Amino acid sequence: MKTFLIPLMLLCMFALASCSKPAAAPPKEKTLYTCSMHPQIIRDKPGDCPICGMPLVPLRKQPAAGQATKTGATNLVTVEGRTVQQMGVRTAEVTRGPLVKDIRALARIDFNETAVSDVNVREPGWIEKLYVDSVGRLVHRGELLFDFFSPELLVAQKEYLLAIERGADYAATTLVKLRNVGISDSQIAALEKSRQAQRIVRIESPRDGFVVEKNAVAGQMVEAGATLYRIADLASVWVLADIFESDLPFVKVGQPAVVRLSYLPDREFAGRVTYIYPTVDEKTRAVRVRMEFDNPGYFLKPGMYATAEIHSELAPDAVLVPDTAVLRSGERNTVFVAQREGTFEPRVVSLGARGAGDVYQVLGGLKPGERVVTSGQFLLDSESQLREAVQKMLDPQPAVQPTPKPASQGYVCPMYECPMPNHVSIAYDHPGKCPICGMTLVPAQSAEAQSHAQGDH
């Protein structure tokens, strides 16, 4: 009995020792290292980047595909705090406010056509004396320009004086004639008072302004209707700008506009849009827009070139994101939203029009108050694209192949062939590219390939 108990006791002691032995620790995950400047460099041990020489930093294990984080996102990018600083990551807040678009265009300053007057005579005659003898002179309304002698005007005055003596009806007829030949009301009043016909008729300026054109010379014989002076009031000027068709929907009559001059860089002039011309230039595909500006000090001189800006409010209340935060791939627009320290979420957004200050209207995907990455997001995008490849390196999963049904159950293995007639005799049991010509394989149509699929071979 004692001999039997000793082996039993030894067996119990061995079992107790086995139970008290600590469980084997799970295999330690392999740490990978990457370069903060070149995230495509991935190594399984520390060292230096072969491109820039910077020390490699540990790469955090990203969440597995489909595994949600605390924020609910499945594609977060996590970067070490020191790496974030080395990458130069900067963020800005998504704001809400009016969306304003500034339309800039090269413009030309021109005369206000409604403030330009021509001076001419209605009867042929001679210029006796000039009072304004140069272009550029500032004249005022009623100021003498030149003395004019015309036999027809002298005869018209004598007829009027004679008509006054004969009767009122005839005088009214000759008064109309005096006005038609260009005698002013003040000159007619002086004629009625003096009862003496004047050989010389003094021609006066019809408005305040500058003489911009002069064709009068002392002693010159002039014909009726010839333009002798052109006088322009420069208290207000027109600014003409060519706006491209794409910007035309944002331009409306009455909108505020600003003009800047190259020789006065510290000054700007405020005006407004007064007219949009109804035609498009066939060569430049632009529409001419007219703006009107007050011109105190006469700084805006006709013939000058200027830079015009038209301010257009596209939306009174919009969600705005900086232009530098948007990554464009051609098919979609992506921004990186900062979730917490070192964690960023790539998010697809829908953008509207671009506004002043290099901002875009956000139609969907962002909310005011969120912070988006404005600098360094290209490196985050590279790391986000490599996340799936890195995950496969950390936790490779073998591809699961479907189990074909036995032929007895009527299963037919799909076959593929090259669409090229010369290669149709070769059948493949998987889709892909033809190894001969590189064309995409298509479902088998030939009898030979279908016989392979049905297992007749």
Residue 228, judged by CB atoms within 10 A of its CB (0-12, 13-18, 19+), counts as: buried
Query: Residue 386 forms beta bridges with which residues?
Result: none
The whole-angstrom separation of Cα 119 and Cα 34 is 83
Q: Is the pLDDT of residue 340 over 80?
A: no
Residue 72 CB: number of other CB atoms within 10 A? 8
Query: Which residue in 237, 255, 277 sits closest to 110, CA to CA?
Result: 237
Domain boundaries, the chain: 82-99+317-394, 113-232, 234-315, 407-453
Q: Over the stretch 116-153, which tens digit does the pLDDT of each residue have?
A: 999 999 999 999 999 999 999 999 999 999 999 999 99
> 6-10, 62-66, 321-325, 350-354: which has the minimum mean pLDDT?
62-66
Q: Over the stretch 156-181, which tens digit does the pLDDT of each residue have?
A: 888 888 888 877 667 788 888 888 88
Mean pLDDT to the nearest integer, 75-85: 69
Query: To 5 degrees, how large is the angle CA 73–CA 78–CA 82?
Result: 155
Mean of pLDDT over the chain: 80
Query: Which residue in 236, 280, 294 sits closest to 113, CA to CA?
Result: 236
- Listed in order, strand segments (DSSP E) in 85-140 are 90-93, 95-111, 116-119, 125-130, 138-139
Q: How far is CA 216 from CA 123, 139, 208, 220, 227, in A?
A: 15, 16, 19, 7, 9
Q: How far is CA 54 from CA 59, 78, 84, 141, 383, in A?
A: 15, 20, 15, 80, 17
Residue 345: pLDDT band (50, 70, 90) is confident
pLDDT at 343: 81
The whole-angstrom separation of Cα 37 and Cα 34 is 9
* Contact indicator for 363, 321 with CB cutoff of 8 Å: no
Q: Over the stretch 207-224, which tens digit does the pLDDT of each residue have?
A: 999 999 999 999 999 999
pLDDT at 114: 94
Residue 447: pLDDT band (50, 70, 90) is low
361: left (phi over 0), alpha (psi -120 to 50) or beta: beta
The pTM score is: 0.59
Residue 154, judged by CB atoms within 10 A of its CB (0-12, 13-18, 19+), counts as: middle
Statement: 113-232 belongs to CATH 3.40.47.10: no
Query: Which residue in 32, 36, 146 sits closest to 391, CA to CA?
Result: 32
What does the DSSP 8-state code read for residue 114? Answer: G
pLDDT at 384: 60
* Contact indicator for 268, 294 with CB cutoff of 8 Å: no
320: number of CA atoms within 13 Å, CB side? 20
* Contact indicator for 59, 45 with CB cutoff of 8 Å: no
Q: Which fold has domain 234-315?
A: Elongation Factor Tu (Ef-tu); domain 3 (2.40.30)
Q: How far is CA 56 from CA 46, 357, 378, in A?
A: 6, 38, 19
The whole-angstrom separation of Cα 136 and Cα 133 is 10
CATH of domain 82-99+317-394: 2.40.420.20
Query: To 5 degrees, how large is the angle CA 64–CA 69–CA 70?
Result: 165
